């Protein structure tokens, strides 16, 4: 795999441009852990800054660029925990969905700091249950596998219920094998999965009226 396509961190920029699995993200998690450990705790700015304003110098900011088909939930949670620790130290987590944020990658995209979650106009976001890779060697293992699957589903569900405006009924509707949980940028803005749409002509839009009339 070409170096520039690997999941990586450069300065305060995180690039998630492949599937999220141990082979591609273990190194990224280690880089993030070292970066987070060196962070000086600071207070969040008192106001939310628009994309047209400069965030005050010295503010902790982490830019997360995403174009990923998703992947392993455990790896995603490790990355999300690094984001949460950075956030607890006063870091603004800016997420950019630059193409697709599917499954686990979707959960990372919506977990940026509210007010700083960006999505390109032609990008999309996929919410779904995911798939279990558990294999059963004996019928007695079925109960344990079912318990693990329910736990995984609840983790996913809780992320969307706390980070977005989706209701429990809506998340349940999106969780089905037909993949109806694929949302475009307009739908994501409406449902609070992103805060800003970056238009094809380079504008930042946070309401549908501007998107339609300009």
User: Could you report the per-residue pLDDT of 154-188, keeping only the tens digit for each?
Assistant: 777 888 899 999 888 887 777 655 556 889 999 99
Q: Which two tokens stand for residue 144?
A: 């344990």
* Residue 3 clears pLDDT 70, i.e. is over it: no
Give the Cα separation of 103 and 20 in Å (integer).
10
Spatial CB neighbours of 101, under 8 Å, sequence gap ≥ 6: 66, 67, 68, 70, 108, 109, 123, 124, 125, 126
Q: How confident is the model at residue 145 (pLDDT cuts 50, 70, 90)?
A: low
Instruction: For residues 176 and 189, give the distance between their C-alpha atoms in angstroms, rounded to a whole number.
Output: 22
Question: What's the pLDDT tens digit per position in 80-96?
Answer: 999 999 999 999 999 99
DSSP per position, 64-99: EEEEE--B-HHHHHHHHHHHHHHHHTT-EEEEEEEE
* Average pLDDT estimate for 114-135: 82
- pLDDT of amino acid 90: 96
Domains in the chain, CATH or no CATH each: 3-44+56-213 (3.90.226.10)
Rounded distance between C-alpha atoms, residue 208 and residue 194, angstroms:
13
CA dihedral (100, 95, 17, 81) positive or negative: negative
Question: Given this model, what pLDDT does residue 1 score?
Answer: 45
Whole-model pTM?
0.88
Residue 204, helix vs strand vs coil: strand
Euclidean distance between CA atoms 41 and 135, whole angstroms: 44
* pLDDT in the model for residue 210: 81
């Amino acid at each position: 795999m070409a170096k520039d396509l690997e999941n990586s961190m450069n300065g305060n920029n995180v690039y998630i441009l492949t599937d999220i699995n141990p082979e591609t993200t273990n190194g990224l998690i280690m880089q993030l852990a070292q970066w987070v450990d060196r962070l000086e705790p600071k207070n969040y700015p008192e106001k939310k800054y628009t994309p047209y304003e400069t965030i005050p110098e010295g503010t902790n900011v982490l830019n997360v660029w995403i174009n990923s088909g998703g992947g392993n939930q455990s790896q995603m949670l490790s990355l999300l925990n690094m984001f949460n620790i950075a956030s607890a130290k006063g870091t603004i987590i800016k997420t950019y969905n630059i193409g697709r944020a599917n499954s686990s990658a979707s959960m990372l995209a919506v977990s940026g700091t509210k007010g700083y979650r960006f999505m390109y106009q032609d990008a999309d976001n996929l919410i779904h249950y995911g798939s279990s890779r558990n294999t059963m060697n004996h019928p007695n293992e079925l109960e344990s596998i079912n318990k693990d699957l329910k736990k995984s589903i609840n983790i996913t569900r809780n992320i969307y219920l706390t980070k977005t405006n989706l209701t429990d009924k809506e998340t349940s509707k999106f969780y089905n094998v037909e993949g109806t949980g694929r949302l475009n940028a307009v739908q994501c803005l409406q449902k609070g999965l992103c805060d800003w749409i970056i238009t094809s002509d380079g504008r930042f839009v946070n309401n549908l009226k501007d998107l339609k009339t300009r």
